Structure 1
Amino acid sequence: MEKKRKSKRKIVGFSILGVMVIAIAALAIGYQQLQPKNHFKNVPVVSSANTNQTVKPPKNGVFNVLLIGSDQRKGDKAGHSDSMMLVHVDLQKNQYHAVSIPRDTRVHLDGYGYTKLTSVQYIMQATKGKKAGVEAAVKAVGELTGVPINYYVETNYWGFQSMVDAIGGIDMHVPFNVTLTHPWYKENKNKVIQAGTHRFDGKMVTEVVHERYSLKNGEYGRQQLQEEAMKGIAKKALDPSNLTKLPSLIQSIPDFVVATNMSTSDMLSLGLSVKDFNPNKQLTYYQLHGVGQTMYDDILKANNAEIVLDSQQIKGIMSKYF
């Protein structure tokens, strides 16, 4: 179990939700080329060399998307990968499998050595630029999981908040009491959110899903909150009442997405595929567990609390669902 350490304000991102919100615009477009069965015949693969290669997937419309939530603030040149979720999309079966990857997972970064997953993007952004940072994070997850990653989408605090507000807030089920120990806004300090279903705007849902220090299961409890937010946003985004907001949502793509290798047509086509999406029936969620250990971090040049994941669990989940 991850040990509590000195807090740093963090950001959680549900990038695929932002993609879904924007992509729902495709419901109003009848272009044949955007039909998922035609559009996703070939998908890119983010290779170990950090380049894109166009290859034919095992099945049309089957691919993996890495969602990255960054803690980068406005004006910052670099940020940490604070939240990472890998989603397997099967458009043939209309099924989605998602797995959260703990931010403190011990991984290897070429040229540096072993460090936390959350540090990979930061150190590469700081030394080689924004694109190198996100691609290094994608590569680290690909090597950790052993599966190809076809698309990546990154958002940050501001993007996540803006996306939730753009759809008018959400109804979110909170499975346990949450105390906001390290909120982004000082007026929410130590505010307690009782277990139950709440109506949240972008500001509050973001506060809730980045909390982990007050939770019994720490990072894993936060992942549960992220799952519930994901369901709430998907339900609201796909509500017919939001069709009137489509023009403004399309124009707001830069506000939601910080970095991605998905094109606008990719997002629109994905929107066509999820128009009847029911998260309770079509989305299956997993967590990767491990052991918290104090180990030498080659970037910090000091011991650091890291999570060593169960390699057998990773192999079992990836081989079966991804």
Structure 2
Amino acid sequence: MRSSNRKKKRKWLRWVLLSVLVIMIGAGAYVFSIFQSLSSATDRMHQPIDREVSDKRPEAVKFNEQDPFSVLMLGVDEREGDAGRSDTIIVMTVNPAEQTTKLLSIPRDTLTEIVGRGTNDKINHAYAFGGVEMAMDTVENFLDIPIDYYVQVNMEGFQDIVDSVGGITVNNSFAFESGGYSFSEGQITLDGEEALAYSRMRYEDPNGDFGRQERQRQVIQAVIQEGADISSLWNFGNIFDALGSNIKTNLTFDQMVEIQGEYRAAASNIEQTSIETGSGQRIDGIYYYVVPEEELAAIQASLKEQLNL
């Protein structure tokens, strides 16, 4: 009788071990599939640029030494027959020692020198005149800090990214209509097309471009939150495909892995700000947003402190 019980226990144990082994193999294959898809997406996203290390930085950033770094985030409307404008301009600075990530929004109409063109113009025109490189050089000169990397998002395709994470939820501060949609006040759920219309509304907002910047930051943060949800892993193929099709960056896959490993704590503490100390002025009949020199100097000093410069 005891022998029979021992055989049953061994048989049960074999089934348990076999089940665990099958689950482990399946999980391993799933993780490998995710890794392969992510690697493929980042390869499509990777677009190096012909730009030397900034003279505002003595040497290149070393992620393995946890150097603070900066990223220029551009939201670009790419339309047929037009180079496009970088209507969304956000500078992200990351300091792992302080465990802080700061997002600074720059108004698209900000008057500044367009580096490489020798003229003063709206800062968002830099991309139209000279692409990512001129945009990076111009923002770098404006803020007087090194701009190390860039991430460019195709805003027309951003709706695909929102849809790939199953939509997003944001807290809308007031009711309005835009792009054929009505957005009620309070917490609302948006699909891709709705999120694009929500983030683009400008003229009906009493805060103008600043209100639009706030909605853009809301949408970006909501996408990050939804994408980080464990349930999104089951839809990783669509997510990575949407990212690969609509995002360009000079960061490599290996660098992204290093950032994820070395800067994780800083990513949990995000501070969002915008330049709101300027004033709208008309110069030769054209509207510009002019930032006073003393206010700009204070912003520059804060960013330099964040980057340990």
- Normalised TM-score (structure 2): 0.73
Contact 2:101/2:267, CA 8 A, preserved across alignment:
no
Confirm whether residue 87 of structure 1 aligns to residue 64 of structure 2. Answer: no
Q: Is the contact made by 1:177 and 1:195 (CA closer than 8 Å) also made in structure 2?
A: yes
Greater share of helix? 2
Number of residue-to-residue matches in the alignment = 255
**In structure 2, C-alpha distance between the alignment counterparts of 1:276 and 1:243, rounded to whole Å:** 22
The CA deviation string for residues 269-313 of structure 1, in whole angstroms up to 9 with x for no partner, is 44456778886xx111111121111124xxxxxx41101113234
**Matches of 1:319 and 1:61 in 2, distance apart?**
13
The Cα shift of 1:241 comes to: 0.6
Distance 1:274 1:164 in 2: 25
Residue in structure 1 matched with residue 221 of structure 2 by the alignment: 231
1:118 aligns with 2:124: yes
Q: Which segments of 5 or more consecutive residues in structure 2 lack a partner in the other structure? A: 1-30, 36-49
Determine if contact 1:94/1:273 at 8 Å carries over to the other structure. no
In structure 1, the partner of 2:176 is: 178
For residue 255 of structure 1, the aligned residue among 237, 245, 266 is: 245
CA distance in 1, matches of 2:64, 2:122: 32
SS of the aligned residue for 1:171 comes to: strand
SS in 1 for 2:124: helix
Shift of 1:174: 1.2
Aligned to 1:153: 151
Residue 212 of structure 2 aligns with which residue?
222
Residue in structure 1 matched with residue 78 of structure 2 by the alignment: 72
Larger Rg, first or second structure (1 or 2): 2
Alpha-carbon distance between aligned partners in 1 of 2:95 and 2:303, rounded to the nearest angstrom: 14
How far apart, in 2, do the equivalents of 1:78 and 1:243 lie? 35
- Which sections of structure 1, spanning at least 5 residues, go unmatched? 1-24, 30-43, 125-132, 297-302
CA distance in 1, matches of 2:141, 2:217: 24
Q: Classify the secondary structure of the residue corresponding to 1:262.
A: coil
User: Superposition pairs for residues 129-144 of structure 1, below 5 Å?
Assistant: 133-144=131-142
Secondary structure of the corresponding residue to residue 158 of structure 1 = coil
> What is the aligned partner in structure 1 of residue 286 from structure 2?
304
Amino acid at match of 2:270: L
Alpha-carbon RMSD across the aligned residues, in angstroms, is 3.0
Change (3 A) 1:273 1:210: farther
1:292 alignment counterpart: 280
**Cα separation, partners in 2 of 1:295 and 1:91, compared to 1, 3 Å:** same
Within the alignment, does 1:314 sit opposite 2:299 as a pair? yes
Matched, 1:100 2:105: yes
Pick closer, same or farther for the CA change 1:46–1:146 going to 2, 3 Å. Answer: farther
Contact 2:167/2:191 (8 A) holds in 1: yes
In the TM superposition, 1:49-68 aligns within 5 A as: 54-56=60-62, 60-68=66-74
Q: Is the 8 A contact 2:63 2:258 kept in 1?
A: no
Q: Is the 1:46–1:151 Cα contact (8 Å) retained in structure 2? A: no
In the alignment, residue 300 of structure 2 is paired with which amino acid? K
SS state at 2:157 partner: helix
Deviation at 1:59, TM superposition (A): 5.7
CA deviation digits over 1:225-257, x for unaligned, max 9?
A: 122223312211110111122244334443121
Q: Distance in 1 between matches of 2:254 and 2:97?
A: 19
Q: TM-score, normalized by length of structure 1?
A: 0.70
SS of corresponding position for 1:199: strand
Q: Secondary structure at the match of 1:76?
A: coil
Q: In the TM superposition, what is the alpha-carbon distance from 1:55 to its structure 2 partner? A: 4.8
Distance (whole Å) between structure 2 residues aligned to residue 235 and residue 277 of structure 1: 15
